[in-house]
Structure 1
Amino acid sequence: MLLPFVNGLKGEFILKSYAIGIDIGTTSTKVVLFDEKGAAVAHHAKSYPLLAEAPGAAEQRPDEIYEAVVFSLRETVRKSGDLAEKIGLISFSTAMHSLIAVDADGKPLTNSITWADTRSESYAFTVKSSPEGLDLYKRTGVPLHPMTPLFKLQWLKNEHTEIFQKAAKFVGIKDYILYRWFGEWATDYASAAAMGLWNMNTLEWDEEALLMADVTPDQLPVIQPTTFFWENLSETLAKISGLDSSVKVVIGATDGPLSNLGVGAISSGDVAVTIGTSGAIRTTSETPVLDAEGRTFCYPLTEKHWVSGGPVNNGGIAFQWVHDLFTEEEMEGSYEELSRRAVAALPGAEGLVFLPHLTGERAPLWDAQAKGSFIGLTLRHKKDHMVRAVLEGTIFNLYQVYSLVKTQAQEKADVKIFATGGFTNSPVWKQILADVFQKEVSIPEHTESSCLGAVQLGRFAIGETEVLREVSEDTKQYGTVMPNAEHKEVYGELFEIYQSLSKTMESQYRAIHEFQNRFSK
C-alpha cells in the first residue's frame, strides 16, 4: 500500500512512493533517495573529521555533523528534481554509542564523544571486573567496554565534573539533530540500547545503570519505538529541505540492525557480515540472544526483531597494514596484486596463524589493550603466506564471534550469509569467508544498506507494509560465492587452533601494552 498525497494547488493526486534514508556515520553522513522498489535514484554525502586532541580521544563537532546532514539532505532533494514531490517519508540510521552533554537551551557543552573514544577504559574495566558486571550485561545486552556511553558518563563525572554538573541532558548525535528540527528530546530503542543504560526486558531506562552513571531519566531523551514518527515536517525542516510539510519523519534505529534489514538478513538466523576498515557480524532473531560471558551485543530493530553479534576493530585496516608493510609505493592495482599473493598460498597458510588485533579489539575480547600477532612462523613462510594469514585471521575472528551467537541461538541449517563492505572487492577474501563458514555468501549489489534499511523500517512504521520481512524481499539482486567443500577440514582444524591461541594470548596483552607504553618512542 502506498500513500496518496493531494497537491493542494492543482487538486491532483500524487503518489508519494519515494523515501529518503539518512545515515549519520562516523566519518560522513549519507543521504539516499529510494524509489518504491528500493532502487537508489539520488544521493549525496558529506564527510567530517574525527578529532583526537588528547590520548584516547575520538570526538566530533555536533554542529558540523548537523550541517553535514542538512547540506546532504538539501542536495539530495535538489538532485531528485521533479521526484521531490513524490517523497513521502524520511527515516534515520545512526552510528552507535555517541554521547553529547547539552545545557538547558540544548547547546552542546561537549563534542560528540564517539564509540572510538577509549578514555573511559578504566571505568569500564572496574565494572567488568565487579560482580555486578555480568548482571548489567544481561539486562542491557551491551558488552562492558569504553565505547559505551554509560562509562563515558562516569568518566565525564569524575574528570570533567563542572561540565557534568552543568549538563541538563545527555544525548546521542541523532537525538541532537532531531531536537534541532522538532524541539523534542527523543531517542529510539536501538540508540537507547547502545548507551548501556536501557533495559531490554522493560524497554525503559535501567534503574541500576542510571545509578552507576549518576543520571536520572529526566536527563536523558524520551525513549520511543524505532517505528515512532512525526506526522509532518517541522517548519524548520520544511524550510531547510525544500520538501512539502506532509512528509513524515521516522525516528529509525542504529546502523548495525538497519544494515541487516537493508541487505535482507531479516529472517531468524540470517547473518550479515561487513568488513570495511573495521568489521561486524550480526544475526537476526525473534527474541534477544545473549552470551553467557557477555562477549556479544544484542540490540533491537523492533520489539520482535533483535540483532545479535559483535563489532571488530580490525578488518580492512589489517589488510592495509600488511599492504603498507610489503608495498613501498602506492601503485594502481597494488591491493589486487597483494590479493593474488594470498591466492598463491594454500588455504591455512601452511599453519601460519594471524591474530588481527592491531588496534585493540572489541568482540569477542572486548580488550582495548589486545595486540596482533603472527604465530607459527617458520623459515618456509613467505610474503604469500603472511598475506593469506592476515585475510584468514580477520575471517576467523568474525567466525569466533558468530560461534558464540549461534551456540545461544541454535543455528539453523539453511542460514543465509549476506556480505558487504570493501572486502567484497577481493575475490580471495570473499572465498575465504565462504570456506570458513561453509555457507553460500550473497553479496547485494547496492552498498548503502543502512540507508535502505532505514527506509524499509520507515515504510513499515507508517503502514505501507504490515510485515517487516516483506519489505526486505523487494528488489534484491545478489552476487554469490559458493564454499569449497575441499577446504572445510583444513579451516575447521585451523579455527580450533586459532581459538586456542586467542584464549592463550589474552593473559599477555596487559603486560605487552604496559611494556610498549614504557619503551616506545
Structure 2
Amino acid sequence: MDCFVGVDVGTTNVKALALLPSDLNTILAHASASVDTINPEPGQAEQDVTAIWNALVTVMADVNRQLARAGHTASHVAFSTAMHSLLAMDNAGKPMSHAILWSDNRAEEQANALRTSQKALGDAIYQQTGTPIHPMIPLCKLAWLQQHDPRLLRRAARFGSIKEYLWHRLTGVFEIDFSMATATGLFDPAKQQWSPQAIAFAGVRTDQLSAFVPTTQQRPLQINDDTAQLGFSANVTLVIGASDGCLANLGAGGIKPGVTTLTIGTSGAIRQTVKEPLRDPHGRLFCYWLDKDHYVVGGPTNNGGNVLEWIEQLVQKKTQAVLDEAETIAPGADGLLFLPYLQGERAPLWNAAARGAYLNIDFQHTQAHFVRAALEGVLFNLLSINQLLTRQIGPSRVIHANGGFAQSRLWVQMLADMAGIPVRLNTSNESGSMGGILLICKALGLAKSLDEAADRVSFGDTIQPDPTRSRAYQQVFRNWEKARTQLLND
C-alpha cells in the first residue's frame, strides 16, 4: 500500500516518518541519523553537506526497508529543512564549501552595519523580506564572503541552502521553495523576486541563485547510481516542502488564530500562523511563507535544549537526574534568575554579542536552584517573544508544544504555569516530518486547504496551568525582564 514520507533535515539529525494518508496516527516506519557540526573558529558553525547526504541515504534506506517488510511503498516524500544555511556549489551542484549554519556568527560585522551605519538599508530590506537582520541570514553571510573570500563569490556557479543541494542531487534541478526563500533575507515575497537592494548588498548575482517554486512543487526522483542507494521505487514523487519552522507549525496543528506553537530542540522558536504578511515596526519578528494563504510569524532563540545540555555538562549528570533536581525547587528558584544567552541571541534581542548570566545569587542557592533557573530562563525568553506576537496578532488561547523539551512533563508544566494557558502535546513529536506529510495531502488534493490538513493532527495530553504557580510566575517574569533590561543596557 502506498504511503507518504516526511523528511526532517535538522541541525543535529536527519529524521524520516512514514504514514498512510488514510491513517496519520499509526507510524509505519521511522528512522534517524545524526549529523556533526564543525566549528573551525569560535563563533563559526559549519556542516559537510556530503555527510548530510550520507545521513539522508542511511535514513531513507532504513525507512524503505521497514516499509517493504510491512508490505508498503513510499509514493510521495516531502522535505522539512533547517533555515539560513549557505554553501557554494559548481554548475554540477557539487559543493565548493561547507554549509555555513544558522548558528554561525561570522557575519556579525555585516549585520551590525545594516543595524547602524546602513540602518535605512537594513530597515528597507527587513520590510521587503520579513527576515530580521542578523548574522544567521544568507544575506549577511554572502556580504561576509564578499569581504573575506571574494574569489569564492566569483568562482561559484551557485549559492544555496542545504535543502537546495539535496534537492538538486535528488531531482537534477536548482529550485528553492518560497518558504526557504523568505528565510534568506534576499527574497521579496510581495513581488516574488530576489530583492535588488539585498542582492546588491550581498554582492551575489541572481543567476547564482535558484528558481522559486511553491512549497507543493512536485518532481520525480532522478534515477542514477547516487539515488539508487535511497531504496525508493522508480515512480516515487518528491514534494519540495518548506522550512522546518513553518512545517513545525503545520505539523503541530498550529494554523488557527489564537494557537501558538512553541518548539524547543537544540534551539527554539515560538510562532503563530496568519493569513496576511506581517512586519514588526522594530524588525524583531520573522514572517515566513508557508503557502499563498498562510504566513508563519514569530521569533527564534539560539538558546533552547542546548542550555539543558550545558547544565548537564556543568553538573555532570544525565538529563533525567538534572530534571529531577529542578523539580525539588519552587517556581522562581528563590529569586535566582538566569539569562540564557549562551550563544548570543536572535529574538527578541537580535544581538549576536549577548551573553548569559546568573543574577541574585546568594548562600541559599544550591545546584538544584541553578538548574531550575536555567530551565525557567529559556522559557521566559520565549515568552518575551510571545509578548511581541500578542501585541500585533492578539493573545494566545492555547500553546501547542513540540520538540525534545516536550518529553519532559516538568518543563511543559512550567510553560503552562508561566503562560497561564493550556499547553497541548502532539501525539507525534515529529512535527516537521508530520508537516511535510500534511503538505503532500494538500499538494495531491486530499485536503482542500492547509487548515483542513491541520485538522487531521492528533493530540495527547493537555497540561493545564496551576493558578497559584501562575500568579507567582507573573512577578518572577517581571523581575526577569527588568534584570535583562538593566544588564543589557549597562
Q: Given residue 358 of structure 1, which amino acid in structure 2 is its aligned partner?
A: L
Report SS of the residue matched to 2:240: strand
State whether structure 2 residue 325 is matched by structure 1 residue 338.
yes
Instruction: Report the CA distance shift for 1:466/1:45 in structure 2 as closer, same or farther (over 3 A).
Output: same
Shift of 1:51: 0.9
Which residue of 465, 469, 489 maps to 1:483? 465
State whether structure 2 residue 10 is matched by structure 1 residue 25.
yes
Q: Distance in 2 between matches of 1:219 and 1:341?
A: 56
Q: Is the 8 A contact 2:403 2:430 kept in 1?
A: no
Q: Distance in 1 between matches of 2:457 and 2:250?
A: 13
Q: Distance in 2 between matches of 1:353 and 1:185?
A: 48
TM-score relative to the length of structure 2: 0.94
State whether structure 2 residue 401 is matched by structure 1 residue 401.
no
Q: Given residue 122 of structure 2, which amino acid in structure 1 is its aligned partner?
A: G
State whether structure 2 residue 136 is matched by structure 1 residue 163.
no
Q: Distance in 2 between matches of 1:304 and 1:395?
A: 30
Instruction: Report the CA distance shift for 1:384/1:48 in structure 2 as closer, same or farther (over 3 A).
Output: closer
Q: Distance in 2 between matches of 1:383 and 1:148?
A: 37
Bigger CA radius of gyration: 1
Report SS of the residue matched to 1:29: strand
State whether structure 2 residue 221 is matched by structure 1 residue 233.
yes
Shift of 1:212: 0.8
- Map Cα deviations across residues 121-167 of structure 1 (whole Å, 9 max, x no partner): 11111112122212211111111111100111011111111111101
Q: Is the 8 A contact 1:323 1:338 kept in 2?
A: no
- Map Cα deviations across residues 284-331 of structure 1 (whole Å, 9 max, x no partner): 111123221111211111111111111112223333334444x3x436
2:29 alignment partner in structure 1: 42
Q: Distance in 1 between matches of 2:347 and 2:39?
A: 23
Task: Show the 5 A alignment for 1:164-203.
Answer: 164-203=153-192
Q: Distance in 2 between matches of 1:332 and 1:249?
A: 37
Q: Is the 8 A contact 1:238 1:244 kept in 2?
A: no
Which runs of 5 or more residues in structure 1 are unaligned?
1-14, 509-521
Task: Show the 5 A alignment for 1:323-362.
Answer: 323-325=312-314, 327=315, 329-330=316-317, 333-342=320-329, 345=330, 347-362=331-346
Q: Given residue 46 of structure 2, which amino acid in structure 1 is its aligned partner?
A: E
Instruction: Report the CA distance shift for 1:489/1:144 in structure 2 as closer, same or farther (over 3 A).
Output: same
Which residue of 211, 215, 223 maps to 2:204? 215
Which runs of 5 or more residues in structure 2 are unaligned?
none
Q: Given residue 333 of structure 2, which amino acid in structure 1 is its aligned partner?
A: A
Instruction: Report the CA distance shift for 1:436/1:70 in structure 2 as closer, same or farther (over 3 A).
Output: same
Q: Given residue 397 of structure 1, which amino acid in structure 2 is its aligned partner?
A: N
1:418 alignment partner in structure 2: 400
Q: Is the 8 A contact 1:84 1:243 kept in 2?
A: no
Q: Is the 8 A contact 1:98 1:115 kept in 2?
A: yes
1:287 alignment partner in structure 2: 276
Q: Is the 8 A contact 2:170 2:227 kept in 1?
A: no
Q: Distance in 1 between matches of 2:280 and 2:348?
A: 10
Q: Is the 8 A contact 2:114 2:122 kept in 1?
A: yes
Report SS of the residue matched to 1:241: coil
2:143 alignment partner in structure 1: 154
Q: Is the 8 A contact 2:326 2:369 kept in 1?
A: no
2:489 alignment partner in structure 1: 507
Instruction: Report the CA distance shift for 1:323/1:66 in structure 2 as closer, same or farther (over 3 A).
Output: closer
State whether structure 2 residue 102 is matched by structure 1 residue 118.
no
Q: Distance in 1 between matches of 2:348 and 2:102?
A: 16
Shift of 1:445: 2.6
Shift of 1:384: 4.1
TM-score relative to the length of structure 1: 0.88
Shift of 1:168: 1.1
Q: Is the 8 A contact 1:435 1:491 kept in 2?
A: yes
Task: Show the 5 A alignment for 1:101-140.
Answer: 101-129=88-116, 130-140=119-129
Q: Distance in 1 between matches of 2:210 and 2:182?
A: 12
Q: Distance in 2 between matches of 1:332 and 1:49?
A: 21
Q: Distance in 2 between matches of 1:271 and 1:55?
A: 34
Instruction: Report the CA distance shift for 1:121/1:297 in structure 2 as closer, same or farther (over 3 A).
Output: same
Q: Is the 8 A contact 1:20 1:455 kept in 2?
A: yes
Q: Distance in 2 between matches of 1:105 and 1:247?
A: 23
Report SS of the residue matched to 2:168: helix
State whether structure 2 residue 39 is matched by structure 1 residue 52.
yes
Report SS of the residue matched to 1:478: strand
2:59 alignment partner in structure 1: 72
Task: Show the 5 A alignment for 1:448-487.
Answer: 448-474=430-456, 476-487=458-469
Q: Given residue 176 of structure 2, which amino acid in structure 1 is its aligned partner?
A: T
Q: Distance in 2 between matches of 1:483 and 1:151?
A: 41
Report SS of the residue matched to 1:505: helix
Shift of 1:390: 2.0
Identity %, equivalent residues: 36
Number of positions where the alignment pairs a residue of Structure 1 with one of Structure 2: 485
Q: Given residue 217 of structure 2, which amino acid in structure 1 is its aligned partner?
A: F
Q: Is the 8 A contact 2:87 2:161 kept in 1?
A: yes
Instruction: Report the CA distance shift for 1:244/1:387 in structure 2 as closer, same or farther (over 3 A).
Output: closer
